[in-house]
Amino acid sequence: MNLNRIVHALRRSLPRQCIVCKMSSVNSNICATCEQALPHLTDVCQLCALPFYSAYSPICGPCLLNPPPWQRLDSLCEYVAPVDSLIHAFKYHADFTSVTPLTRGLAARVTAHRQRWPDAMIPVPLHQWRHWRRGFNQALEITRQLHQILHIPLRTDLCRRIKNTVTQTGLEHSRRKANMRNAFVAHAECAGQHLAVVDDVLTTGATLRALCGELNAAGAATLEVWTCARVVRLGAPAGFR
């Protein structure tokens, strides 16, 4: 057991306080009332999860003109308070229970429209050095929680990160895209499979575009992307830039 998991186990044994209202909370950093008030994304494009509504199409104009390399994107919440605090506590302080309300909600969201389940879930891989420094892969921990709810096979052997990229935080979109070029490699076993790629937060989509591009090149039949949160810039149009 690594140090992060020991800290996680100790935190679970202590009384908890809601990160929003500061009232006591059971087994989570957010109470049931505040969890119901999370900033869920509604009326969004099916491919980019940015605000969009049309009685004629579930896909926005920019995504119709320049579709991303996946067939559906589900993001649960907008990446604003208190979601950003929950994910920060999870990602940088190894507080795994902080993200549990988000994974529970994400599981419900992807179940609601389900016609066919993916053959497997794939967490966005970290490079081995980044994994070693952090002690865990946040996307993998989210996928493990989803697996406990949905019982979809979890596969970490279908792709890997071969480039130790600099952190994407603070980079402009063009630099994020260049940073992720040739960062991943996918296994030929992806051919013909329906896969769900899982990550914590979608910002510009550069990481997910790069990974899904490799999965498509390996022959994946259908790709979905599932994230706990999505950055929605004020006034930004739908679609990816």
The per-residue pLDDT for range 175-232, each reduced to its tens digit, is 655 666 778 999 999 999 999 999 999 998 989 999 999 999 999 999 999 999 999 9
**CA–CA separation, 147 and 154 (whole Å):** 7
pLDDT of 217 reads: 96
pLDDT of 191 reads: 98
Strands 120-123 and 194-202: parallel
Q: How sure is the predictor about 44, in pLDDT bands with cuts at 50, 70 and 90?
A: very high
**Domain 40-230 falls under CATH 3.40.50:** yes
Of 11-20, 28-37, 66-75, 117-126, the one with minimum mean pLDDT is: 11-20
| 95-129 confidence digits (pLDDT tens) | 898 999 999 999 999 999 888 999 999 999 998 87
Q: How sure is the predictor about 153, in pLDDT bands with cuts at 50, 70 and 90?
A: very high
Q: How many CA atoms lie within 13 A of 194 on its CB side?
A: 8
**CA–CA separation, 163 and 193 (whole Å):** 25
Token output for 207: 């990481």
Peptide bond into 153 cis (omega under 30): no
Q: What is the mean pLDDT of residues 76-91?
A: 94
Q: Residue type at 80?
A: V
Strands 184-186 and 16-17: unpaired
Q: What are phi and psi of 166, to 5 degrees?
A: -70, 160
**CA–CA separation, 48 and 67 (whole Å):** 9
**CA–CA separation, 168 and 176 (whole Å):** 6
- SS3 category, 77: strand
Of the candidates 109, 95, 64, the one whose C-alpha atom is nearest the C-alpha of residue 230 is 109
Query: What is the domain partition of the chain in residue ranges?
Result: 40-230
Q: What is the mean pLDDT of residues 11-31?
A: 75
pLDDT of 241 reads: 46
| Average pLDDT score, the chain | 87
Q: How sure is the predictor about 162, in pLDDT bands with cuts at 50, 70 and 90?
A: confident
CA 205, 207, 213, 218 torsion-angle sign: negative
pLDDT of 29 reads: 77
Of 14-18, 130-134, 148-152, 176-180, the one with minimum mean pLDDT is: 176-180
pLDDT of 190 reads: 97
Q: How sure is the predictor about 166, in pLDDT bands with cuts at 50, 70 and 90?
A: low
Query: What is 16-47 written as a DSSP string?
Result: EE-TTT--EESSSSS-HHHHHTS-B--SB-TT
pLDDT of 85 reads: 92
Q: What is the mean pLDDT of residues 28-41?
A: 89
**CA–CA separation, 14 and 62 (whole Å):** 48
Contact 160, 130 (CB under 8 A): no
